[in-house]
Structure 1
Amino acid sequence: MFVIPVVLLMGALVAVCVACFRRRSFTKRVRWCADAAVCGLAAAAVVYAWGGWKMFAWDIEETCGLQHGEIWDPAFAGESYFPLSKRCNANFDLVPSFVNPTIIVLLAASAALAVFACFSQRARKDPLRP
């Protein structure tokens, strides 16, 4: 449900950043915003991969019981990839709680920077502006 907008957002970010990098006549501000958008997108991918790594368990029952000291409850057990979650029981998740908000903030910041870079470049080329 939430995967489609995130994939579209990431695709739009990549398209805007590729379009910006193909042009060589930038101002410093536009180049900085495009670079920051790409770095934010890369950071979101790294945080997502790290959260995905935390989800990995050969045997979820042993992982919950031996490594985390939690009781595995199959009624609440389950996993999802967006938002990242792999529950041991109703109160404990293998993925740290800061991972999903960090991904959302990084993607939103990347989108805002890419849009700002795009509009700054267009405003610079507008012949009616002094």
Structure 2
Amino acid sequence: MKEVVVLTLLLLILGWALASVWSAYCLYVGIRDLRRGANWWAHLLSFSLFTALAVWLRGLFSMGLNGSEECQFIHRQPYDAAYVDAHTAEYNKWFPLHSKCNASYDMVPAWVNPVVVLALVVSLVSLVGLVWFAVARWPFSRAMNDTSST
């Protein structure tokens, strides 16, 4: 049963990735032609959410399963067990992502957390744009305006 769930999740993420490639193309065409309708905002929302998830997963998987071996053999950094034990609560948080080998080296790339924040801000802006566009183009808004003017 676990295999079916994992396969289903992988297929959903792959489908979302393909849709995000299409969204990136639609965003490019929309910026080039200065056509920004509801679909453009929806594509921006989908693309930015996918970017946030993909970058966050990149940061999550860069932590490795065994911190000491990951630090010593992959990153060629000394592993400070006392430092890691003193800051255990920091590594168990969902955000910001950190996984330090010692006081000066983090296995999570420095660009991961700012890109996640930026992508989530773009998602919020695109959601506001999508809602604004939907309210501004609401079918009943013209009917309400027409009845108030008579």
Q: TM-score, normalised by structure 2?
A: 0.62
Q: Which residue of 2 aligns with 1:106?
A: 119
* 1:14-73 Cα distance to aligned partner (Å, 9 max, x none): xxxxxxxxxxxxx9611110121011101111111111110123x321221122121111
State the structure with bigger RCO (CA 8 A, min sep 6), 1 or 2. 1
Q: Which consecutive residues of structure 1, in runs of 5 or more, have no partner in the other structure?
A: 1-26
Among candidates 44, 59, 62, match of residue 51 of structure 1? 59
Does residue 45 of structure 2 align to residue 37 of structure 1? yes
Which amino acid in the other structure matches residue 57 of structure 2?
Answer: A
Distance in 1 of aligned mates of 2:50 and 2:136: 27
Question: Is the deviation greater in 93-102 or in 65-74?
Answer: 65-74
Report the secondary structure of 1:44's partner residue.
Answer: helix
Q: Which residue of 1 aligns with 2:72?
A: 65
The total of aligned residue pairs comes to: 102
Report the secondary structure of 2:62's partner residue.
Answer: helix
Q: TM-score, normalised by structure 1?
A: 0.70
Counting aligned pairs with the same residue, the percent is: 28
Distance in 2 of aligned mates of 1:105 and 1:84: 15
Q: Which residue of 2 aligns with 1:76?
A: 83
- Between structures 1 and 2, the one with greater helix share: 2
Q: Which consecutive residues of structure 2, in runs of 5 or more, have no partner in the other structure?
A: 1-34
- Pairwise CA RMSD: 1.9
Shift of 1:75: 2.9
Q: Which residue of 2 aligns with 1:86?
A: 99
